[in-house]
Structure 1
Amino acid sequence: MSDPVLELTEDAFLGGQLRLTQLKSGHRAGHDAVLLAAATAARSGDRVADFGAGIGAAGLAVARRVAGIDLVLVEIDPALAGIARANAAANGIQAGVIVLDVEADATAFAAAGLVPDSVDAVLMNPPFNDPARHRVSPDTARGIAHMATATTLPKWVHAARRILKSRGALTLIWRADGLADVLAALDHGFGSLQLLPVHGDAGSPANRILVRAVKGGRAPTQIHPALMLNGESGLPNERVQEILAGKGTLPLASQ
Structure 2
Amino acid sequence: MTRDAFLGGRLTVSQPEKGFRAGLDSVLLGAAVRGNTHSLLDLGAGVGTASLVAMADLPQLHATLLEADPAMAALASLNIHGNGMAERARVLTLDLTAPGRLRAAAGLAADHFSTVIANPPFFDPTRGSAPTRARAGARHMDDAALDTWVKTAATHAAPGGEVIFIHVAEALPLLLVAFTQRFGAVSVLPLLPREGEAASRVLIRGIKGSRAPFALLAARAMHEAEGRGFRPAFDAIFRGTSRLIW
TM range (shorter): over 0.9
Q: Which runs of 5+ in 2 are unaligned?
A: none
Cα pair 1:42 1:121 within 8 Å, conserved? no
Within 5 Å, which residues of 2 pair with 1:209-248? 209-234=202-227, 235-248=229-242
CA distance 1:118–1:85, shift in 2 (3 Å): same
Instruction: Identify the residue that residue 63 of structure 1 maps to in structure 2.
Output: 55
Alignment match, 1:118: 112
Structure 1 residue 127: deviation in Å? 0.9
TM-score, normalised with respect to structure 1:
0.90
Distance in 1 (alpha carbons) for counterparts of 2:231 and 2:124: 29
What is the identity percentage for the equivalent residue pairs of Structure 1 and Structure 2?
Answer: 36
Where does residue 15 of structure 1 map in the other structure? 8
Which string of whole-angstrom CA distances, capped at 9 and with x for unpartnered residues, describes residues 129-167 of structure 1? Answer: 399xx9963421221111011222100110011111111
Give the secondary structure class of the aligned counterpart of 2:178.
Answer: helix
Distance across 2 between alignment mates of 1:74 and 1:11: 22
Deviates further, 234-243 or 162-171: 234-243
Which amino acid is 1:11 matched to?
Answer: D
Give the one of 142, 155, 159 matched to 2:148. 155
Distance 1:105 1:42, change over 3 A: farther
Q: Distance in 1 between matches of 2:141 and 2:49?
A: 20
Aligned pair in 2 of structure 1 residues 47, 190: CA closer, same or farther (>3 Å)? Answer: same
Of 85, 89, 96, which residue of structure 2 is paired with 1:95? 89
Q: Residue 138 of structure 2 aligns to a residue in which SS?
A: helix
Q: Deviations over 1:40-98 (max 9, x none)?
A: 11436x22101111000001110111012121011011011011101101111121100
Structure 1 runs of 4+ off > 6 angstroms?
none
- The corresponding residue for 1:203 is 196
Provide the aligned length of Structure 1 versus Structure 2. Answer: 242
Letter in 2 for 1:189: R
Equivalent residue number for residue 177 of structure 1 = 170
Q: Which TM-score applies when normalising by structure 2?
A: 0.93
Letter of the 1:211 partner, please give it.
I
Taking the aligned partners of 2:221 and 2:109, their CA distance within structure 1 comes to 38
Query: How far did 1:172 drift?
Result: 0.6
- How big is the alpha-carbon RMSD for the aligned residues of Structure 1 and Structure 2? 1.8
Question: How many angstroms apart in 1 are the aligned matches of 2:3 and 2:225?
Answer: 32
Question: Using a 3 Å threshold, how does the CA distance of structure 1 residues 97 and 223 change in structure 2: closer, same or farther?
Answer: same
